[in-house]
Copies of this chain bind each other. A is one copy, B any other.
């Protein structure tokens, strides 16, 4: 035993992002408390000890996951929305399906689940997510709604609740897929939710005739 491959290589630069990538996977599959550092290390191709050369604690590793793997995607969607020229209705019709896609492609839904489920036991997780994701995304959407209200385009009412009205069902769809489909629930199509719900929320669920508003 001599010449062959070395047991490991020194790759100070590449490690952190590889570890973060592996951590995203394992956190997604097992949640925060359920994720084992040994498994993260194994998937990143290093030993557990190496993790501690780059990240001080498990929580700090999770924060790094949020910052490097999640926040950029959110920023992209927000930038798209803020650069959008056209009516709010058209923006909404473009935004929801796009958000649905990004959520599925990035495994963002799984991280949401972690934060929701373990926020109570690990408040730092909830705070990091709130500051880096929610504040940014929901804040941007709320401002867009306020502007559309000022233009007389959409109905009065708390703009933040309007934002909830828009994205709530999408989130429900995400949680449905992640939580109940694996145990036998009837599958649901996220893109279909996005499409139908946008039209519902923009023009209403009631058939137009005498009825209308309250």
Instruction: Report which A residues bind B (CB closer than 8 A).
Output: 29-31, 33-34, 87, 89, 93, 113-121, 123, 126-127, 130, 134, 152-155, 157-158, 160-162, 164-173, 175-176, 178-180, 182-186, 188, 192-193, 196-197, 199-207, 211-214
Contact = CB atoms under 8 A, between A and B. Distances in A.
A140 to B, nearest CB: 15
A120 B29 contact: yes
Q: Please list the 10 inter-chain residue pairs (A to B) with the smallest Cβ-Cβ separation, ordered nearest first.
A: A117-B117, A168-B169, A204-B204, A168-B168, A168-B172, A127-B183, A203-B204, A119-B179, A164-B169, A126-B183
Number of copies: 2
Contacts of A179: 115-116, 119-120, 126
A170 B172 CA distance: 10
